[in-house]
Amino acid sequence: MRTQKTQEKAGFGSKIGFILAAAGSAVGLGNIWRFPYLAAKYGGGIFLLVYLILAVTFGFALMLTEITIGRRTGKSVMGAYTAMDKRFRPLGWLAGAIPVIIMPYYCVIGGWVLKYLVVFLTGSGKAAADNSSFFSNFIGHSWSPLLFFAIFLLITGSVVMLGVQKGVEKVSKILMPLLLVLIVGIAIYTMTLPGAIQGLEYYIKPDLSAFSIKTVVAAMGQLFYSMSLAMGIMITYGSYMRKEDHIENSVRQIEVFDTVVAFLAGMIIVPAVFVFSGGDSSALNAGPSLMFITLPNVFSDMLGGQIVGTVFFLLVSLAALTSSISLMETVVSMLEERFHLKRIPACCTATGCAFLIGLLSVFGYSIWSDFTIFG
């Protein structure tokens, strides 16, 4: 009975479609922005080593478990936990709440990336980099971040509305190979910059003195973030997976894709920032401003920086888009299952709610910046 139900549910049409969609979820802002600066901060090669060990052990086991739960139950994250055991119901609620909370802020940052893509595409990258308050002016602007957030969210909603096969799978099959080509291209270019090799050495040479329990904790946190674990995404995608496809092989390929992209992003960002800052590694610890202030400066000083900047922000936009699609698909699958909504009303509801929640993030930097809760 359960098998019959699962087969009725729309799902991925091919194994490669599933792998690329799941890899699309895993590869996102976490790989391109978060991984490189954590690696630089926590001892370069030693962080990479710890991350790799955790990825092939914990990461592999957790992703395998989530996809298996999804495929076996054929349900959304909320239904899947309950289907396994009624006592797990609260876990389903908890895991299901995470994409609802993350999706709006993820799309706000996606909007920022889109803005920078437009800036570089229209040839204003250098002017933006030369103006030290460009980023703060942008996020503090009354309507500009709202507009880019709305565009990013609408693109996400439109893809999800097309369905699992015609939307999520099709888009992933086009964007993921493109993303790989773009990142390999910029990584090769960065390696040709003078001084890049010292930066690369800093990135991959293990600094044992920087190793501590914090390295392991940071690598573990990054693992969950990067592999989209513990938030129902992999359960949802697993529920759309074909019964005849091999789960272990697929997880292996998703992991390799995710880790290779993170490693290549580090190969671009660490040496580039290293060269730009004259070997000052603290420039890599800039947090969110690394991507929106430091990197545009690096590009504007580079030969062909306008093109490299455009390609880079295109790459980040695509990576963020395939991840936000997976976050929305997880929410939509819950709405379809729990409230028996059809796909279009479910997508409209998810998009509308994300828009309202996202307003907190958008205006939190501008008109609502004085608003605080309990101080």
Exactly one of 226, 239, 300, 333 binds ligand PFF (CB under 6 A); that residue is 226
Phi, psi (5° rounding) for residue 44? 55, -115
Rg (CA), the chain: 21
Buried b (16+ CB within 10 A) or exposed e, 170-195: bbbbebbeebbebbeebbebbeebee
The reply on whether position 28 binds ligand PFF by CB under 6 A is yes
Instruction: In whole angstroms, give the CA distance from residue 29 to residue 19.
Output: 19
Exactly one of 6, 156, 172, 228 binds ligand PFF (CB under 6 A); that residue is 228
The reply on whether position 347 binds ligand PFF by CB under 6 A is no
The reply on whether position 231 binds ligand PFF by CB under 6 A is yes
Tokens in use for 304? 């062909």
318-337: contacts with ligand PFF (CB under 6 A): 323
**Region binding ligand PFF by CB under 6 A among candidate stretches 140-148, 172-180, 220-228, 340-348:** 220-228
Q: Which is nearer to ligand PFF, 93 or 224 (CB)?
A: 224
Partners of 47 in beta bridges:
none
The reply on whether position 317 binds ligand PFF by CB under 6 A is no
CA atoms within 13 A on the CB side of 258: 36
Q: How far is the CB of 318 from ligand PFF (least distance, A)?
A: 12
Q: How far is the CB of 31 from ligand PFF (least distance, A)?
A: 5
Exactly one of 225, 237, 240, 276 binds ligand PFF (CB under 6 A); that residue is 225
Instruction: In whole angstroms, give the CA distance from residue 203 to residue 349.
Output: 44
65-124: contacts with ligand PFF (CB under 6 A): 102
Do residues 366 and 141 lie in contact, with contact meaning Cβ atoms separated by under 8 Å? yes
Instruction: In whole angstroms, give the CA distance from residue 216 to residue 52.
Output: 11
The reply on whether position 26 binds ligand PFF by CB under 6 A is yes
Q: Which residue has the tokens 């963020």?
A: 320
**Region binding ligand PFF by CB under 6 A among candidate stretches 138-146, 165-173, 222-230, 277-285:** 222-230
Residues contributing to the site for ligand PFF (CB under 6 A):
25-26, 28-31, 102, 225-226, 228, 231, 323
